[in-house]
Amino acid sequence: MAKCGGKSSAGARAPSSWRKYPGGGADAPGAEPPHRRQPQPAPPSCPTPPFPLGQTQRLTPTLEGPLMRLSRYFLPVLKETPAEAQIASHRLMLRAGMIKQQQAGIYSWLPMGFKVLRRIEQIVHEEQARAGHLAIQMPTLQSADLWRESGRYDGYGEEMLRITDRQGRDMLYSPTAEEMVTDIFRAHVSSYKQLPLTLYQIQWKFRDEIRPRFGVMRGREFLMKDGYNFDLSKEDALHAYNRHLVSYLRTYERMGLQAIPMRADSGPIGGDYTHEFLVLAETGESEVFYDSEITDLTFGDREIDYDDVAQCQSVLEEFTSRYARTDETHDEAAFNEVPEERRRVARGIEVGQIFYFGTQYSEALGASVQTPDGSKVPVHMGSHGIGVSRLVGALIEANHDDKGIIWPEGVTPFHVGIVNLKQGDVSCDSACEALYRAFLDHGLDPLYDDREERAGAKFATMDLIGLPWRITVGPRGIAANKVELTCRRTGESEEMPAEEAVEKIVGIYEGL
RNA sequence: CGGAGCGUAGCGCAGCCUGGUAGCGCACCUGCUUCGGGAGCAGGGGGUCGGAGGUUCGAAUCCUCUCGCUCCGACCA
């Protein structure tokens, strides 16, 4: 995204264009339809669809249904830790068979890792839709000419991967997309009446880092949600800025993460108009300084009207009123005004960033609109990024123990693991099958460990891959009509009838 | 880009210094036993020793070049 000088920040990547957003992704169940301008009254005689809307986009059974049995799945777990992995998330992602490194900073995503990536994407899409933003998809390969127009082709430096095609045309693998989205805008928008507009995509990016490390946390190829707002005035653009801050708070919280907005380095632009979102973690790359009161703030289930300027402003003020800065912008004097017992110095992982940068690109690329008085003005813009692939690493950094990953319910690749302790035993097998089908019927993703393995191996695998809930089915319990429900995070177990366990798990996920 | 290190079976490693035609653990395959926290025994399959060139009767081992990866620093979503 675009600090003005051309360096950018924010980031992560997401799987690409073929990924399906059933029902349009945006209107996920529970998400209000995106009313960007005026609410549209429903067409009077809209026929009732033959199936309940929203249901089709629940999970992905069509893609993976038959493969949720571990015996048929592809989950290449490792007992030993590959030598190159230094930090917990990298180690655990390799051991849990989520990723495979292909080159320095470039990874393949194996089924379970890819599933987590898609869960994160789904949340991002739903929250973007809620804020009224529109999903698009731009190419990863872009023409150098567009970047010459903005002046960034020569300015960007070695981080940009430059490619030449067979005709000798200069191209590049996009590290960010201000130029291209502005090109789209200028081609199709010419009136203030078409504003405000916010377009975003979830797309793979490439930055040729000198030294990739920490697995997907600092790769060269990464999946990122990058969004761009177009507004008539600075005032409107600052509302877009606030709106993004609010929607980002919601987005991270749904993933089970606390990401603290911190005043960031705005580069040559100056001003307060950029915030980074940091997840506190020992392995974070940034040193952060904050008032401990900031970590008590949660978004909760408060109602937000994203068109309400005052409300978005007040949320921003609430979440940015305490001292919270990275080492880039740290101000020792201001920090010292925080009561000593509340001063915290820690480390954080940057999982997102928002900017307002004004008319830098709209002027360079000629993106302007006509105002009511007939004059032509360049639009005010901002850009915003969420590091989707990086978030997978950050989530694990923030949620693991010595046995493995502990997924928050919001992003877990499978909602529940079913462990059959005695494969081949008729009563155990049928109890597991019944559980498995019951979860599928409720729209949940179960992972059924039906392998011919010993109990210890199955437990170790479940602990490693970190599903939040495990149901253990053994001959002992089945004789008493009981299964065991275990919480991965606390390790607590409880015996209960299978139906009750299903009910409990379903209840937990319905409450999300 | 500066400094350091490593490439030997899918993974983790030994062998290299002191050249003699490759080994261990895990994983994998077969059988038997075992079966609520990564089982035991027996048998078995799998390796252009990153690549190229050189020295030598002979190179995983010595020399040169090269490619890849990792770590520290600088940098960074």
| A78-87, A109-118, A223-232: the lowest-pLDDT one | A78-87
| Residue-level pLDDT at A267 | 56
pLDDT tens, position by position, A413-424: 999 999 999 999
What band does A86 get if pLDDT is binned at 50, 70 and 90? confident
- Compute φ and ψ for A464, nearest 5 degrees: -65, -50
Q: Does the pLDDT of residue A70 top 50, yes or no? A: yes
Q: Does the pLDDT of residue A438 top 90, yes or no? A: yes
* 3-class DSSP assignment, residue A52: coil
Average pLDDT over residues A136-148: 95
| Residue-level pLDDT at A486 | 98
| Residue-level pLDDT at A2 | 39
Is the minimum distance from the CB of A4 to strand B below 7 Å?
A: no
Average pLDDT over residues A353-380: 95
| Residue-level pLDDT at A157 | 81
ipTM above 0.85, yes or no: yes
What band does A83 get if pLDDT is binned at 50, 70 and 90? confident
Nucleotide nearest to A105 (CA to C1'): B69
Strand B: which nucleotides have any atom within 7 A of a protein Cβ?
1-2, 11-13, 25-27, 34-39, 68-77
| Residue-level pLDDT at A368 | 97
| Residue-level pLDDT at A266 | 63
Average pLDDT over residues A143-158: 89
Is the minimum distance from the CB of A218 to strand B below 7 Å?
A: yes
| Residue-level pLDDT at A9 | 36
Burial A115-134, CB ≥16 within 10 A → b, else e? bbbbbbbbbbbbbbbbbbbe
What band does A389 get if pLDDT is binned at 50, 70 and 90? very high
Average pLDDT over residues A455-467: 97
Is the minimum distance from the CB of A211 to strand B below 7 Å?
A: yes
pLDDT tens, position by position, A155-166: 888 889 999 998
What band does A37 get if pLDDT is binned at 50, 70 and 90? very low
Distance CA(A126)–CA(A15), nearest Å, equals 16
* A207 CA, B51 C1': Å apart: 28
Q: Is the dihedral of CA A307, A312, A314, A315 positive or negative?
A: positive
| Residue-level pLDDT at A271 | 53
Which residue type sits at A342?
R
* A456 CA, B36 C1': Å apart: 7
| A16-20, A235-239, A315-319: the lowest-pLDDT one | A16-20
Q: Of A352, A275, A269, whose CA–CA distance to A315 is shortest?
A: A275
Distance CA(A317)–CA(A145), nearest Å, equals 40
Average pLDDT over residues A236-245: 97
pLDDT tens, position by position, A245-291: 999 999 999 999 999 999 887 654 445 689 999 999 988 888 999 99
| A94-108, A130-144, A155-169, A422-436: the lowest-pLDDT one | A155-169
Is the minimum distance from the CB of A481 to strand B below 7 Å?
A: no
Distance CA(A293)–CA(A289), nearest Å, equals 12
Distance CA(A134)–CA(A419), nearest Å, equals 42
Give me A308's structure tokens.
Answer: 């309400």
First and final CA of chain A: distance in angstroms? 31
Residue nearest to nucleotide B70 (CA to C1'): A84
Is the minimum distance from the CB of A442 to strand B below 7 Å?
A: no
Given its phi and psi angles, is residue A3 left (phi above 0), alpha (psi -120 to 50 degrees) or beta? beta
Distance CA(A411)–CA(A474), nearest Å, equals 28
Q: Of A353, A355, A357, A346, whose CA–CA distance to A387 is shortest?
A: A353
Q: Quick one: how far is CA A378 from the chain centroid?
A: 31
Cis amide linkage into residue A47, ω under 30° from 0:
no
Q: Does the pLDDT of residue A11 top 60, yes or no? A: no
| A4-8, A271-275, A381-385: the lowest-pLDDT one | A4-8
How much of chain A is in helix, strand and coil states, percent to nearest 5?
35, 25, 40
Average pLDDT, chain A: 86
Cβ < 7 Å from strand B, A residues 381-420: 385, 387, 389-390, 403
Full 3-state SS string of A186-215 = HHHCCEHHHCCEEEEEEEEEECCCCCCECH
pLDDT tens, position by position, A305-338: 999 999 999 999 999 999 999 988 899 999 999 9
Q: Does the pLDDT of residue A440 top 90, yes or no? A: yes
Which residue type sits at A291?
D
**How many other C-beta atoms are found inside a 10 Å radius of the C-beta of residue A479?**
9
Q: State the DSSP code for A25.
A: S
Q: Of A92, A187, A153, A77, whose CA–CA distance to A451 is shortest?
A: A77
Per-residue CA distances from A208 to A12, A150, A156 (Å): 14, 20, 11
* A348 CA, B55 C1': Å apart: 54
Please say whether the beta carbons of A244 and A384 come within 8 A: yes
* A103 CA, B50 C1': Å apart: 14
Is the minimum distance from the CB of A157 to strand B below 7 Å?
A: no
Q: Does the pLDDT of residue A384 top 70, yes or no? A: yes
Is the minimum distance from the CB of A266 to strand B below 7 Å?
A: no
Is the minimum distance from the CB of A464 to strand B below 7 Å?
A: yes
Q: Does the pLDDT of residue A40 top 70, yes or no? A: no
DSSP element (H, E) containing A154: helix A152-155
| Residue-level pLDDT at A116 | 96
Instruction: Provide, rounded to the nearest whole percent, the portion of chain A with pLDDT above 70.
Output: 86
Nucleotide nearest to A106 (CA to C1'): B69
